[in-house]
């Protein structure tokens, strides 16, 4: 039990764990706490909700969906699939969209959701009112098992450095559930320093669109011994989308957040509307590279008989202070830019702020002509554009593409200001349809195209090299005992991309189409087994660069892993 919690959290007459167990018809009220009872505090109802974690059995959640402030239409029921672990943060970030919704723990509601879908993290004032606890802390313990992916119950301990809400000054540590068994499972690592917003059971984060329980078998995972010795213990929910964030000194919002939270703790923080205007944050996956903000955008707030306006600073941030609690509409505008949101509705609570972020799409464009090595129009060829960061390097997954017409012409629209590279096979690897080695447009020794807001740029002609010759690699795949492996996929990877693939026939033979002069990593792999025994049989990668000499490979499925990639 965390010191300073209300008496009802201690199993008293205020609707605590013991009374709840009796109402449910169970015998837990007569059992001692060493059976592994964990309380998740519900700040709204002033009582904890129980998670029972019997030793050697999967923990069964009694948390129910919290629909109080959210519309059913806000849920995303069929989001696109993303690959496994989300310290592939980059791909999960790609799933996030601006909007409100609710966390749904679907251990009893079988909606087919496969991804965590949430808006970009808003300012701290948008979370602190709803959160049960808010603090800066360092991870000192986690029982996360990297071999189990999302299908696990995990507890994380934070050593508190600074408290803003919900924790007594004499409490050194707080326990957090990072979203166990759900697609919004967050990985925390020992030594990380974070600003944490923890939620007590049913009080859900304000920007979550959907969270689902991950299907599949779960191997037993006992409670950490450090919890057994001090049961019952309050555990707060802090999954992806909770507003929890790393204290990155490069992120200016962190400084603004901490400043506000200290005012909140002191009782001097007034109500306001805050947010940020960003520049095409969906054109790339940002993390290592910060999302660019748009300075000088005009933000207008209307409602409750008032109309107020301000301009964003150089990083795109704005704040309108002294706004009375209530409902408002916010608009943002800037010349040469448009936003998918004509206006955003915000609710300013009695404590905290209303938050409204805008992402603006540019109106610049680039056009040009592509010809082949014989100076003929290159028809139906994929042309790519890469968005560059301030150091001149491509931003992760900041790629768009178009296809040339019958005259070899191409055009790329709705571009922000900034630096870019244009070419063929800059992002995707060469393939038989586009069999050219990577080729960049350049002028006077520079391949960088710099755009101003609203600029329409016409480039000089880009000439392709001769196409690479398509070769066939015959690959035989065998089981360790020498039997031909039928139905196994053989992949040919170029860099981080799968460039070609083929499945083996009854003789264990696959025929890969590859390009001469392109370097490949060839690997065979297939899922085997079921349930907890399910794993990947794989050969390991063989490196090759096809030339004019025929290539025959023999691969043996001698390795076993739990992950396919």
| More confident call, 551 vs 526 | 526
Which has the closest alpha carbon to 112: 150, 79, 84, 85? 79
3-state secondary structure of 359: strand
List, edge to edge, every strand of the sheet that includes 326-333: 306-311, 298-303, 326-333, 344-348
pTM of this structure: 0.67
Q: How many CB atoms lie within 10 A of CB 23?
A: 10
160-197: per-residue pLDDT in tens?
Answer: 999 999 998 888 999 999 998 888 899 999 999 999 99
Region 307-325 average pLDDT: 94
| More confident call, 212 vs 208 | 212
Q: Which residues contact 230 (CB under 8 A, 6 or more apart)?
A: none
Overall CATH class of domain 270-362 = mainly beta
Interstrand relation of 449-451 and 337-338 (parallel, antiparallel or unpaired): unpaired
Q: Which residues contact 472 (CB under 8 A, 6 or more apart)?
A: 511, 512, 513, 514
Residue 456 Cα distances to 249, 278, 304, 364, 382, angstroms:
37, 21, 42, 6, 21
The percentage of the chain sitting over the pLDDT mark of 70, rounded to a whole number, equals 75
- Tell me the CATH number of domain 470-561, given options 2.60.40.1120, 2.60.120.330, 1.10.10.10, 3.30.70.60: 2.60.40.1120
Q: How many CB atoms lie within 10 A of CB 388?
A: 20
The percentage of the chain sitting over the pLDDT mark of 90, rounded to a whole number, equals 55
Which has the closest alpha carbon to 371: 473, 273, 462, 235? 462
Residue 354 near residue 322 (C-beta atoms within 8 A): no
87-135: per-residue pLDDT in tens?
Answer: 334 333 333 332 222 333 333 233 334 467 676 678 898 899 889 999 9
209-262: per-residue pLDDT in tens?
Answer: 556 666 665 667 777 777 765 555 788 999 988 999 999 877 778 888 999 999
Residue 169 near residue 242 (C-beta atoms within 8 A): no
C-alpha to C-alpha distance for 199 and 176, rounded to whole angstroms: 9
Average pLDDT, the chain: 78
21-76: per-residue pLDDT in tens?
Answer: 223 333 333 333 333 333 333 333 333 333 333 222 222 222 222 222 222 222 22
468-516: per-residue pLDDT in tens?
Answer: 999 999 999 999 999 999 999 999 999 888 889 999 999 999 999 999 9
Specify the domain boundaries for CATH 2.60.40.1120 within the chain.
Answer: 365-463, 470-561
Q: Which CATH superfamily is domain 365-463 in?
A: Carboxypeptidase-like, regulatory domain (2.60.40.1120)
């Amino acid at each position: 039990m965390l010191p300073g919690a209300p008496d009802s959290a201690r199993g008293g007459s205020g609707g605590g764990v013991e009374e709840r167990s009796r109402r449910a018809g169970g015998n837990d009220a007569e059992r001692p706490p060493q059976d592994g009872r964990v309380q998740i505090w519900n700040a709204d109802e002033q009582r904890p909700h129980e998670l029972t974690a019997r030793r050697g059995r999967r923990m069964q959640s009694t948390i129910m969906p919290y629909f109080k402030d959210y519309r059913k239409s806000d849920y995303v029921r069929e989001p696109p699939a993303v690959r496994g672990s989300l310290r592939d943060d980059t791909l999960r970030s790609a799933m996030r969209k601006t909007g409100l919704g609710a966390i749904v723990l679907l251990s009893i509601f079988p909606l087919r959701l496969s991804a965590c879908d949430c808006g970009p993290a808003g300012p701290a004032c948008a979370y602190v009112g709803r959160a049960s606890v808010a603090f800066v802390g360092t991870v000192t313990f986690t029982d996360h098992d990297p071999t189990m992916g999302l299908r696990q119950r995990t507890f994380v301990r934070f050593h508190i450095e600074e408290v803003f809400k919900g924790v007594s000054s004499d409490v050194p540590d707080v326990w957090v559930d990072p979203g166990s068994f759900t697609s919004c499972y967050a990985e925390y690592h020992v030594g990380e320093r974070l600003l944490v917003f923890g939620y007590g059971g049913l009080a859900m984060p304000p920007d979550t669109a959907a969270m689902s329980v991950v299907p599949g078998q779960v191997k037993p995972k006992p409670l950490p011994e450090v919890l057994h010795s001090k049961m019952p213990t309050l555990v707060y929910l802090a999954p992806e989308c909770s507003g929890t964030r790393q204290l990155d000194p490069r992120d200016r919002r962190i400084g603004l957040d901490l400043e506000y939270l200290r005012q909140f703790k002191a009782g001097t923080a007034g109500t306001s509307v805050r947010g940020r205007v960003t520049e095409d944050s969906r054109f790339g996956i940002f993390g290592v590279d910060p999302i660019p903000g748009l300075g000088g955008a005009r933000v207008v707030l209307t409602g409750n008989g008032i109309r107020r306006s301000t301009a964003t600073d150089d990083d795109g941030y704005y704040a309108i202070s002294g706004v009375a609690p209530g409902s408002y509409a916010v608009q943002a505008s800037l010349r040469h830019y448009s936003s998918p949101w004509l206006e955003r509705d915000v609710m300013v609570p009695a404590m905290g702020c209303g938050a409204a972020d805008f992402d603006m799409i540019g109106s610049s464009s680039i056009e040009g002509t592509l010809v082949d090595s014989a100076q003929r129009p290159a028809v139906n060829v994929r042309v790519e554009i890469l968005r560059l960061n301030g150091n001149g390097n491509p931003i992760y997954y900041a790629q768009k593409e178009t296809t040339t017409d019958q005259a070899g012409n191409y055009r790329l629209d709705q571009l922000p200001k900034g630096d870019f590279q244009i070419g063929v096979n800059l992002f995707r690897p060469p393939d038989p349809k586009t069999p050219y080695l990577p080729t960049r447009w350049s002028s006077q020794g520079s391949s960088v195209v710099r755009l101003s807001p609203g600029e329409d740029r016409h480039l000089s002609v880009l000439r392709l090299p001769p196409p690479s010759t398509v070769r066939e690699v015959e690959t035989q795949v065998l089981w360790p005992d020498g039997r031909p492996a039928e139905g196994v996929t053989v992949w040919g990877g170029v860099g981080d991309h799968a460039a070609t693939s083929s499945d083996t026939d009854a003789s264990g033979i696959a025929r890969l189409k590859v390009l001469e002069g392109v370097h490949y990593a060839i690997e065979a792999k297939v899922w085997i087994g079921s349930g907890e025994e399910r794993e990947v049989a794989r050969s390991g990668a063989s490196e090759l660069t096809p030339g004019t000499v025929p290539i025959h490979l023999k691969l043996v499925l001698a390795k076993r892993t739990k992950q396919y990639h």
